[in-house]
Amino acid sequence: MATRRALRTLNHLATRRAHSTSSVSANELSHFSALASSWWDPQGPSRVLHLMNPLRHDFIASCLSDALPPSSTSTTTTTPNTLRYLDIGCGGGIFAESLARSISPPSPTSQTATPTRAAAITAIDPSTTLIQIARDHARRDPTVAAHLRSGRFEYKNCTLEDLITAAPPQQQQQQTSSTSTPTATPPQTYDIVTLFEVLEHIESTPAAGISPQSFLADCLRLVRPGGWLIGSTIARTVPSWLVNQVIAEAPWPIGVVPRGTHEWQKFVNPEEVEAWVQEGLMRAADGRAVRAGAAALEGMRWKCVGVVYFPGFGWKLVPGSESWGNYFWAVRKGV
Amino acid sequence: MRSLVRTATRPYVCPSCHLGRLSARRRFASASTPSSALPEIYDVVCVGGGPAGLGLLAALRATPATSKLKVALVETQDLEKARSWSLDAQHYSNRVSSLTPSSVSFLQKIGVWDHVDAARVQPYQEMQVWDGETGSRITFDWSMETSPFEDLRTVATMTENSNLVRALLSRIAESGDENLSIFSNTTVSSIANGSDIPDGPDLSAWPVLSLAPTTSSSAQPPKQIAARLLVGADGINSPVRRFADISTSGWDYDRHGVVATLSLSDLDPVHSSPNIKTAFQRFLPALGGPIALLPLPNNTASLVWSTTVANAAYLKSLPPRAFIATVNAAFRLSMTDLTYMLRMERPSTTSPTSTDSSSAIDPHEDELTWRLQHTPQPRKPSQLPPLVTGVQEGSVASFPLRFRHASSYISPRVALVGDAAHVIHPLAGQGLNLGLGDVAALAQTVEYAATHGMDAGDLLTLERYAADRFATNAKIGVACDVLHKLYNVPGNGPVAWARSFGLDVIDSVPFVKGLLMRGAQ
């Protein structure tokens, strides 16, 4: 059943567990485990990834301004910041921690809307090492550490499938008192599910039924109607091959990314992502959906914008460059 | 450029070395630091309550995204005195600054300018700069970009520092006291890294300051505060910079700046339009630097005379009438005459001279009157400042001129602004403007961090600030230094010829001059 294990898995423990049926190759495993210790070094190998992070916030804000997910809690809240986030493949927590920092602490007075409108975030990664690094780093910021203690921010060392099969956690089910068997309850859903720099690391194993497409379909099952699945990845083009494989992974002093970070063959083009998410929505794999087929695409929105890294200046959103290299994409599930 | 250099050097510093260096060096203390208890946690702690530090606070409080941040300011002096500062309309402080239009628009943007006493500021629309050796001259104004139907644009605005500081304080007070702590009369007795608190946050990479009140009466234990971002706005000998172990390089110019508040002759027959105010600056290569007369309201002006230490001491020792005569001479006489006047035997006893000064003939005045008859004067009288007629009592003072530039403006959880980061020659009046530029950039960086989930004290955040300011400040600092050196070559040699040629070219080619003036903003 739980055959599809996601993502970059890094350390030996996780490797053993995910070994037989993982969608992650041994190469990816050993590569990212070597990077683990320098994950948060601003001058380290993950520097380019750190520099991209603020643009993720910009892109999320642009999605929210296009269509805000409908409020889930009909209770009387004084805050417009009600969105619950799920970050899949959080790694060392670069994005998850920054999002947790944007959660404004509860206050008696009415609050102003934050760009991310975040109320809570759950971040998952199958790697024990990386989750530990993420938790240790989060403790270094009292604001984030307070969110960790209060439960508004949570790191889980688990796979996407674990989340889908697991029952919703007790503490977040204050309104319902479901005492039925865990297998019968649908998975907890989120307003925003994020998938940053993950898709290009998924191993396609047709024999085991694993593909980026099935992975995306699973992600969509965790998105509430009206919510967004937001990600970023790299297009499989000649320029992206030159930039990401030849130049970015070149030896010092040209290269900015450690050798072996990317495999160009696994890169995904925007049209492919769009087709896969449509397929995923139409299959209505969450079992509870009333609608299926083409009706599932009603209210769906597709959004895509390229980003380009200019050495010395950083990342810039460049609309139209999505078919060249790095790009952000987002899909909104119909209400 | 800097980030390129950083990228290039990156592989040679392993992360563990980063950490090792960090823990070894981060300490500044004049007393031992105790305590592992949880300190009070602030988002931004600013050490230093001068225009830069207060400007940062005001900017953060005025910006919606950063107005809720928990901020603190620590200042050794009594800020209550600065808040209640007041002088009558005839008297002006000798500590004045020439604010560029971009500084003024920043202060307007953060709502500070409304709190500045407008009757005490003086915009000027024209600047006359000339070489005392060769007579080459350049006139700065915006006439080439202003249509004849509108008023001439402002070159800069003269403001007393006390007026600005008082405005900043009242703007900050206006923002309320929520999430704001101002520790006045308080010194930083130590700064050290915090500790990893069990079942709490790990503050081992956070600066923790121990604060002690300067008033010895209170015997309370030092207060401990931790800073997400520690801002050093604490001047040339910055303790924050020492804590961050940021080196600074530079030199002393072996010159002093003599300042004074002067009153000018009532009639200003030169200018047909009373709305146009002019600043005057004359380079005096034989005396070690330029003399500048900057307009203030009510027919007063501020003097800044950069000169050798010996000359500065001589000027300060002169009785008022002799001082006034020397200042008038400095804008009018030749280098030879001036050098002679600054070597005249000074009046043996100052006090008797000043009491019966009305009757006796002052030797400096006498000398000036006689020598002026034999000195050719510029054809247009508007090229000379009005005559100085008085000097405000107690306003003559001097300060040493220095050049300093920190090797970096940032370190993990530390940023330097203003004089803590850079001290430059005052000949272009850019010191405070650079500080306000730093503050505007740092406030913008903190705002970007707040809206993008970034940690305001993280190096990845702070490098945005450093990238914005380091090169700009270095460029202006070096330009002032070059000007200083160029105008310290006496005589009529090739250097004097070259600088005059350069000045003439700039003055006659509007395009180049416009470029320069925009650059100076």
CATH code for position A202 = 3.40.50.150
pLDDT greater at residue A181 or residue B254:
B254
Asked whether residue B144 carries a pLDDT value surpassing 70, the answer given is no
Q: How confident is the model at residue B481 (pLDDT cuts 50, 70, 90)?
A: confident
Instruction: Count Cβ neighbours within 10 Å for each residue of B37-51 and write b for 16 or more, e otherwise.
Output: eebebbbbbbbbbbb
For the cut 70, the answer to whether the pLDDT of residue B31 exceeds it is no
Q: Which tops the pLDDT comparison, B214 or B246?
A: B246
Give the pLDDT confidence score for residue A155 in this predicted structure: 97
- Placement of tokens 């969110």 in the chain: A147
User: In this structure, which long-range contacts are made by residues B119-122, counting pairs with CB atoms below 8 Å and at least 24 apart in sequence?
Assistant: B119/B89, B119/B297, B120/B89, B120/B92, B120/B159, B120/B160, B120/B163, B120/B296, B120/B297, B121/B157, B121/B158, B121/B159, B121/B163, B121/B297, B122/B157, B122/B158, B122/B277, B122/B295, B122/B296, B122/B297
Segment B205-215 shows an average pLDDT of 90
In a domain, A7, yes or no: no
Q: Is A200 annotated as a binding residue?
A: yes
Report the pLDDT value the prediction gives residue B265, as an integer from 0 to 100. Answer: 86
Helix (H, G, I), strand (E, B) or coil at B235: coil
C-alpha B111 chain-centroid distance: 21
In B, which residues are within 8 Å of A99 by CB distance?
453
Residues of B whose CB is below 8 A from A252: 11
> What pLDDT is attached to residue B22?
47
Residue A21 is predicted with a pLDDT of 46
- Asked whether residue A89 is assigned to any structural domain, the reply reads yes
Q: B176: which chain A residues are within 8 Å (Cβ-Cβ)?
A: none
Nearest CA in chain B to A38: B15
Residue B417 pLDDT exceeds 90 = yes
Contacts of B64 in chain A (CB under 8 A): 112
- Which segments of B44-83 does DSSP mark as H helices, in order? 51-62, 79-83
User: Mean pLDDT, to the nearest integer, of B332-342?
Assistant: 91
- For residue A108, being part of any structural domain is answered with no
Interface contact B169, partner A, CB < 8 A: no
Mean pLDDT of residues grouped by 10 in chain A (335 residues)?
33 34 57 77 88 96 93 66 94 95 79 90 92 93 94 93 71 43 67 93 76 89 93 87 79 76 84 89 58 71 91 87 90 89
Span of A98-107, B102-111, B415-424 with lowest mean pLDDT: A98-107
User: What is the number of structural domains in chain B?
Assistant: 1
Q: Is residue A93 part of a domain?
A: yes
The CATH number of the domain where B182 resides is what? 3.50.50.60
| The pLDDT value given to residue A27 | 65
Backbone angles phi and psi of A37, in degrees to 5: -70, -25
Task: Provide mean pLDDT across the span B148-167.
Answer: 87
Q: Higher-confidence residue: B317 or B377?
A: B317
- Across the interface, which of B3, B200, B226 has its CB nearest the CB of A312? B3
- Residue A49 lies inside a defined structural domain of this protein: yes
Is B445 inside a domain boundary?
A: yes
Give A314's strand partners: A310
Counting the structural domains of chain A, the total is: 1
The complex scores an ipTM of 0.85
Q: Is A196 annotated as a binding residue?
A: yes
- Tell me: pLDDT of B374 over 60: yes
Residue B338 in this model has a pLDDT that exceeds 80: yes
CB contact under 8 A, B6 and A43: yes
Q: Is residue B196 domain-resident?
A: yes
Residue A4, domain member (yes or no): no
The boundaries of the domain holding residue B423 are 40-91+163-250+402-484
The pLDDT of residue B369 is 86
Task: Tell me the per-residue pLDDT of B429-475, one tens digit each, with 9 for 90 and over.
Answer: 888 999 999 999 999 999 999 999 999 999 999 999 999 999 888 88
Cβ contact (<8 Å) for A42 and B458? yes
- Residue B260 and residue B397 in contact, taking contact as beta carbons nearer than 8 Å: yes
Confidence of residue B173 (pLDDT cuts 50, 70, 90): very high
Per-residue model confidence (pLDDT) at position B353: 46
Q: Flag whether A262 is in a domain.
A: yes
CB proximity A298 to B under 8 Å:
no
Q: pLDDT for B212-232, tens place per residue? A: 988 755 556 668 999 999 999
Structural domain includes residue B66: yes
- Find the CB nearest B202 among A47, A139, A256: A139
Position B249 pLDDT exceeds 60: yes
Q: What integer is the mean pLDDT of B141-146?
A: 70
pLDDT of A171 reads 43
Could A43 and B10 be called an inter-chain contact, meaning their C-beta atoms sit closer than 8 Å? yes
- Pick among A62, A98, A141 to test the B interface (most B CBs inside 10 A): A141
Question: Between chains, do A311 and B18 touch, taking CB under 8 Å as contact?
Answer: no
Contact of B180 with B71, CB cutoff 8 Å: yes
Q: Decide if A163 is inside a domain.
A: yes
What is residue B376's three-state secondary structure?
A: coil
Domain containing A154: what range? 12-69+80-103+114-168+182-332
Chain A residue with CA closest to B64: the answer is: A112
Is B489 at the interface with chain A, CB within 8 A? Answer: no
Contact (CB<8Å) A53/B454: yes
Lowest mean pLDDT among B11-15, B400-404, B454-458: B11-15
Confidence (pLDDT) at A132: 92
pLDDT at B93: 94
Q: Give yes or no for residue B133 having a pLDDT over 90.
A: no
Q: Is the pLDDT of residue B408 over 90?
A: yes
* Single pTM value for the model: 0.87
Cβ of B142 under 8 Å from any chain A Cβ?
no
